[in-house]
Amino acid sequence: MNNALELSRVGKKYKGFALSDVSLDLPAGTIMGLVGPNGAGKTTVIKLILNLIRRDGGEIRVFGLDNIRREAEVKARIGFVHETPHFIEDVRLKDLKAAIAPFYDKWNEALFRSLAGEFGLPLDKKFKALSHGMKMKFQIALALSHEADLLIMDEPTSGLDPVFRRELLERLSGILQDERKAILFSTHITTDLERTADIITFIHQGRVVFSLPKDDIRDRWGLVKGPNGLLTAETRRLFKGLRQTSLGFEALTDDIPAVRRALDSGVAVDRASIEDIMVFTDGRDAHA
Amino acid sequence: MLSLIRKDLILSKRFLLIFGLLYLGYMGYLGSRVGHPREIIVITTLMCGLLPLIQYTREDKFKAGVLNCSLPVTRREIVLSRYILSWVLTLVLYVLVMGVIALLPGRKFATSAMFSLNTVLFALAFMTLYLGLLLPLILRFGLAGMFAFLIVLQVFGVATLLLDRYKVAHLRLSSLAVVVKKGLLDLHASLGTPVYDSLLVVLMVLLTLASFWFAMFLYKRKDF
């Protein structure tokens, strides 16, 4: 399967934060959800793909093209939604559209009109008059209207009402009927990921913890509950995170079969949600 | 490239129209008050060059620079489009202002003085310096770059005056200016007007190119 996006050992250093050795592959025809706590590096990864910030090392390829050496070609194939919409604010939406559309050979005016109508976008209004949700919808309409092969969306569902959020996610899935296309989106809303994403990439403190198909996560990652007596140095090694009380322990594992082999009937094992994985990996309230 | 220029014009058309008309009226009036063409040319060039620069600081104000860099263009194209548009806007506004000054009654100098080759070259040289110094800073640092430039200019001006007043290191800057002026006049006399003027134009082009390369160097390193 061809990759729409490949990141190989990408790094970026800031004062107090470093994105280290980020590698991931997004095959065409799939949706990848980028998830992680605040400040984990999700937006940095997206900005690096778009060359909005300079990478310190590594390689980024979009449909096989280097994202810096073939910048214009690469960006012509990307539809981008920024987490905070930034346009000159005292300009009407129709003028913003008129300014942006000529950059794209594949601009589909009929599709834009249809999306604007569907999203209820007031094209005669100035951008500053819109709510955050409407600004996001406008950005989404622009990103979808040039029939991009790769959609990159940074927190696209933030500020959207649940009904539109659901519609957007369904629309994203619909886009992938064309198997040459792919979508990368970051979100805090883990239910969005579970509903839509084929691959989930979890970033924590500037590192990729995992980048796996959703089904693999479902099969391998679990929440283990049991009495404290079962905790030994050996069994602890099976856990990615552990929370302990006087009544027993709750732990996260990325290897359910191994836990079952080691602890068997002494514990209860449930499938871990993305939220469980985030909470346990973050470790802020885990006590080992 | 053309798409970038068109984008900037579409997004700033209201701003350019309102401020362009205000400038025309104001500079036209000022032109009839000032007694020497060189003074009005300096002021006009300064004001005309300011219009495209303020337009770019608006983008900085709204943090809209990220839009340019997410469009299918290279950073080189963005910088180049900004240089072309700045020059075009400055020149168009300059010509319009000069036209208004020429048409308005009450002017204190002859029309021919405004459109002589010397005057035009002087205006172009001033624009070259002004845009050449400011554009790289504004493209890289936005409004902060513009303020930094103006502050440095102020500090430099005050320091120059102080140096001159107190004859620090036995240096009279006014004498230095006289020496430079005499040197230029001698050069003019020895080369002849056509060669001297051509040399001046070449120098302006080189300065603009150097400024462009410096702006690219800075802009390519800008993180959004």
DSSP A189-234: -HHHHHHH-SEEEEEETTEEEEEEEHHHHHHH-EEEEE-GGG--HH
Cβ contact, residue pair A89, B74, below 8 Å: no
Closest by Cα among A37, A44, A45 to A204: A37
The whole-number pLDDT of residue A176 equals: 80
Q: How far is B38 from chain A (nearest CA, A)?
A: 37
The whole-number pLDDT of residue A285 equals: 44
Q: How far is B81 from chain A (nearest CA, A)?
A: 14
Residue B60 structural domain: 2-220
Q: State how far the Cα of A38 lies from the Cα of A17, in Å rounded to an integer.
A: 12
DSSP A114-155: HHHHHHT--TTSBGGGS-HHHHHHHHHHHHHHTT-SEEEEES
Sign of CA dihedral B89, B94, B97, B103: negative
With beta carbons less than 8 A apart as the criterion, state whether B222 and A55 touch: no
Nearest to A86 among B10, B58, B64 (CB): B64
With beta carbons less than 8 A apart as the criterion, state whether B46 and B127 touch: no
Per the structure, the count of domains in chain B is 1
With beta carbons less than 8 A apart as the criterion, state whether A26 and A46 touch: no
What's the pLDDT band for A224 if we cut at 50, 70, 90?
very high
With beta carbons less than 8 A apart as the criterion, state whether B9 and A88 touch: no
Q: Give tens-digit pLDDT for A227-256.
A: 888 888 888 888 888 888 888 999 999 988
Nearest to B58 among A47, A86, A88 (CB): A88
Cβ contact, residue pair B74, A72, below 8 Å: yes
Residues in chain A whose Cβ is within 8 Å of chain B:
47, 50-54, 71-76, 78, 80, 82, 86-91, 95-96, 98-100, 102-104
Burial (CB < 10 A; 0-12, 13-18, 19+), residue B183, is exposed
Cβ contact, residue pair B11, A82, below 8 Å: no
Q: State how far the Cα of B142 lies from the Cα of B136, in Å rounded to an integer.
A: 9
How high is the mean pLDDT in each 10-residue block of chain B (224 residues)?
A: 93 91 87 80 87 88 89 95 96 91 81 85 92 94 88 87 71 74 88 90 96 96 90
Cβ contact, residue pair A88, B221, below 8 Å: no
Query: Residues A29-64, buried b or exposed e (16+ Cβ, 10 A)?
Result: bbbbbbbbbeebbbbbbbbbbbbbbebeebebbbbe
Domains of chain A: 3-213 (3.40.50.300), 221-282 (3.30.70)
The whole-number pLDDT of residue B171 equals: 60
Half-sphere exposure of A281 (CA within 13 A, CB side): 23
Q: How far is B71 from chain A (nearest CA, A)?
A: 6
Judging contacts by C-beta atoms under 8 Å, the chain A residues touching residue B74 are 71-72
The whole-number pLDDT of residue B30 equals: 84
Q: Give tens-digit pLDDT for B162-180.
A: 877 776 656 666 777 788 8
Q: Give tens-digit pLDDT for A4-17.
A: 999 999 999 999 89
The whole-number pLDDT of residue A287 equals: 40
Tokens of B128: 């070259």
The whole-number pLDDT of residue B17 equals: 92
Q: Is B172 on the interface with A (CB under 8 A)?
A: no
* Interface residue of B67, B73, B85, B217 to substitute, partner A, most A CBs within 10 Å: B67
State which residue of chain B sits closest to A73, comparing Cα positions: B72
Closest by Cα among A10, A36, A109, A72 to A279: A36
Closest by Cα among A200, A207, A171 to A277: A200
Quote the percentage of chain A above a pLDDT of 90.
54
State which residue of chain A sits closest to B220, comparing Cα positions: A54
Q: State how far the Cα of B7 lies from the Cα of A225, in Å rounded to an integer.
A: 59
- Amino acid at the residue B29: Y
Q: How far is B80 from chain A (nearest CA, A)?
A: 15
Tokens of A215: 């089904």
With beta carbons less than 8 A apart as the criterion, state whether A19 and A206 touch: yes
A79: pLDDT strictly greater than 50:
yes
| Beta-carbon contacts below 8 Å between A and B | 74
Tokens of B127: 């624009």
Judging contacts by C-beta atoms under 8 Å, the chain B residues touching residue A101 are none
Q: How far is A76 from chain B (nearest CA, A)?
A: 5
Residue B57 DSSP symbol: H
